[in-house]
Amino acid sequence: MSRINLGIIFIVILTFLPGCGKGTKEGEPVNYFGGMGRTNSYEGYGSFYHKIFIVEDCKYKDSSGAITAPLVLPNSDYVIVNTRSNVLYISKQIVKWAVKLDSGAIPAGCMAADGDLNIYIIATNGMLYSISKDGQMRWNKLVEKTDKKLIVFSDLLAQKDGIVISVSNGEIYKFDFNGNIKWKFITGLSTTKTFASDDKGNLVIPLTHDLFGVTDTLLYLTPEGKVRWYKGFPKTRFYMTPVVCRHKIVIAGISEIKGNMLAEFYVLDEKGKKLWKKELNVSPRFISVDEQGRIYAAGYNSGVGEALSEILCFSASGKLEWKQYFQATVLSNLMLSRKFIAFVANDDKGSGVCFLDKDGKFEDVVSLQRAPSIYSQPSVTSDPSVIFAGADKLCIVRIDELPFDKLIPW
C-alpha cells in the first residue's frame, strides 16, 4: 500500500475540470472535464509537468481571488470569475477585459465557451449570460426564477450548435448561441450535476431520485432533444458524471442489494446495451477514459477511520490491468496526459497534486505548502500544466518543471 505524505494546508472541493480527447482545438466548443465527452483526457497535449509549482501574479486593478476554476481556451488564455462577480479574461498574466455580472450573481455551475470563444455562465440569479471574446455582454436570458425556492443548475455543456443546461426541477434546455431556446425536455427527476455528449451531439444524462435503493435512469437524447432510449438501473443511485468515448458510455453508481451497498460501474454501447460491469471496493467517484479506450476509476471510503482510496485501470474490454491503493482521499478527476495521470489528493497532513505513470506506478507529488491560498478545482493548459486560480488574490498557481528539465527532449 502506497503512502502519500502531503504536508500542506489546502481546502479541497470536489472537482470540476476543464476532449476521448486530444484537448480542445481551435473552433471547437470548450468544456470542463476534458470536453463534451467528459473523458478528462489531455493526451494530445503531451505529458504533464510534475516537479514544482510556480505562482503567476496577474496584473489588474481588482486583485480579488477567484470563485471558479480557470476555463482554459485553445489559445492558452483563460477566463475566471472573481469574488466580486467580475468575469476576467486573462492572457499572459494580464487581464485583457472584465465584465461585471448583475449584483449578487455568482456562477452556479461550470462555465463553457463556443467555437468562437464566446463565454457562457449560468448564475445563481437564474440568468444565463453570454459574453463575447472581446468582452462585450452579448445577451442574458432567464432560465428559471430562483426567488423563494431552492433551484440547482447543472454545469453548462457547450456543443457545436448550442448550450445545454438542466434545472433541478427536471427541466433540460438547449439554447442556441443567440440565446434562443432550441428545445425543452421535461423529466420527472433531477439530473446529475454534470452530464456528457458524443461528438455528434447525442446527450447522455443520468436522472436520479437522489435516494438509495430506488431505480435511477440513464437518458439518451438526440441533438434535437428527442428520446432515443432510456434505461433504468434497479435499486441503483447515480450521482456522478458519465463519460462518453469511442461509442461507449461509462457510468458509475451505488446499488442496494439485500440491504448491502454495492459500488459498481457499467459500460454500455451507444444503443444502451450493457457490455460489462465491474465492482469497486470503495465508492466510485471519478471516471476517465484515455485515447485507447482504457478506463480509469477512482473512489474512496467516506466513513469514519483512516482515508483509503482505490484507483483502477481496465482495458477497453473490461480486463483489470492494475489497481493501486492510497492512504489518502482522491478528490479530483484523474487527469490523463500522454505518460502521466494527475489528481488532487488529501491525507491527514494536507493535500497536493499527485502523479502516477500509466502503469499505476507512483511518480511524484507536488506540495503546495508554500503556495498562496488557491481555489482547489484544477484545470489543464496545453503545455500541458495543471493550474489553479488564486483564492485570496488574483494569480495562477501552475504545476511546472525544473527549467533544466524542460530543455531535455525526453
**pLDDT 10s digits, 381-398:** 998 999 999 999 999 999
1 in a structural domain: no
135 in a structural domain: yes
Residue 7: which pLDDT band, with cuts at 50, 70 and 90?
A: very low
Phi/psi at 190 (5° precision): -80, 160
Task: Check pLDDT > 60 for residue 293.
Answer: yes
30 in a structural domain: no
For residue 110, give its domain range. Answer: 43-407
Q: pLDDT by residue (tens digit) across 225-267?
A: 999 999 999 999 999 999 999 899 999 999 987 778 888 889 9
Residue 299: which pLDDT band, with cuts at 50, 70 and 90?
A: confident
Residue 324: which pLDDT band, with cuts at 50, 70 and 90?
A: very high
- Nine-digit cell at 23? 484537448
Q: What's the confidence (pLDDT) of residue 73? A: 96
307 in a structural domain: yes
Q: What's the confidence (pLDDT) of residue 10? A: 39
Residue 4: which pLDDT band, with cuts at 50, 70 and 90?
A: very low
Task: Check pLDDT > 50 for residue 39.
Answer: yes
Task: Check pLDDT > 80 for residue 8.
Answer: no
98 in a structural domain: yes
Please name the residue that has the C-alpha cell 472573481.
Answer: 82
Q: What's the confidence (pLDDT) of residue 327? A: 87
148 in a structural domain: yes
Task: Give the least confident one: 107-121, 225-239, 359-373.
Answer: 359-373
Task: Check pLDDT > 70 for residue 313.
Answer: yes
* 273: CATH: 2.130.10.10
26 in a structural domain: no
